[in-house]
Amino acid sequence: AEYMGPVGQAYLGAMAAAGNFAFCNRSIMATAARRAFEEVVGRSARALDMHVVYDVCHNIAKFENHMVDGVEKRLLVHRKGATRSFPPGHPEIPKQYQAVGQPVLIGGSMGTCSYVLTGTAQSMRDTFGSTCHGAGREMSRSEAIRTYSQGSVREQMAQAGVYVKAGDARLLAEEAAG
C-alpha cells in the first residue's frame, strides 16, 4: 500500500503531529475557559466540577478494523470533515461509553442548534463508523463575508439573546449561519 512508502509515512507523521497540536490546542482552550469561570464565579474549576467530559479527533486518519464484503480488514480510514461514531460495545471506545456508544458531538453554527448523539451499528455498516463533526455550511466563508456585515450579524445574534465578541470584525460575517 502507498502509505508504507516514504511519502505516505511523511503524510502520516505530519498528520500525527497535527493531531497532537490539535489536542494541545483543545487543552489550552479548556484551561482558559476554566480560568475565566474561576474569575467570574469566584470558585475553583475543581469546585465547579469543570473537567473534559469527552475529547475526540476529527479530520484525521486512523488504522481500524472494518467489515468489507463480509471480511474483516485493517483499513486506514481518513475522516475529513468527520469523526468516529462507534456503536455500543465497540472495543475502541472508553469503558464509560461502552453501554451507549461513542459520543457524537455535532456543533451548530451561530444561531443554529447543536446535537449530542451516539454511534450505532448502522454507522459501522454504512460509513466505517463515521459521522459529520459540525453543522456544515450553507455558503463558503468568502461568500458569507460578501453577504453579511459584522453589524448585521451582531444585531441578529443580539435579537436572539446572544452576546458576541470577536477579535476580528470579519470573523462574525465569516461564521454567520447563512
Q: Active-site positions?
A: 133
Q: Which CA distances in Å does 125 have to 31, 69, 80, 149?
A: 37, 10, 18, 44
Task: Give the count of beta carbons closer than 10 Å to the beta carbon of residue 168.
Answer: 8
Q: How far apart are CA 114 and CA 136, in angstroms?
A: 11
Cell numbers 447543536 correspond to 114
Residue (of 4, 103, 10) closest to 55 by Cα position: 103
CA distance 52 to 150: 32
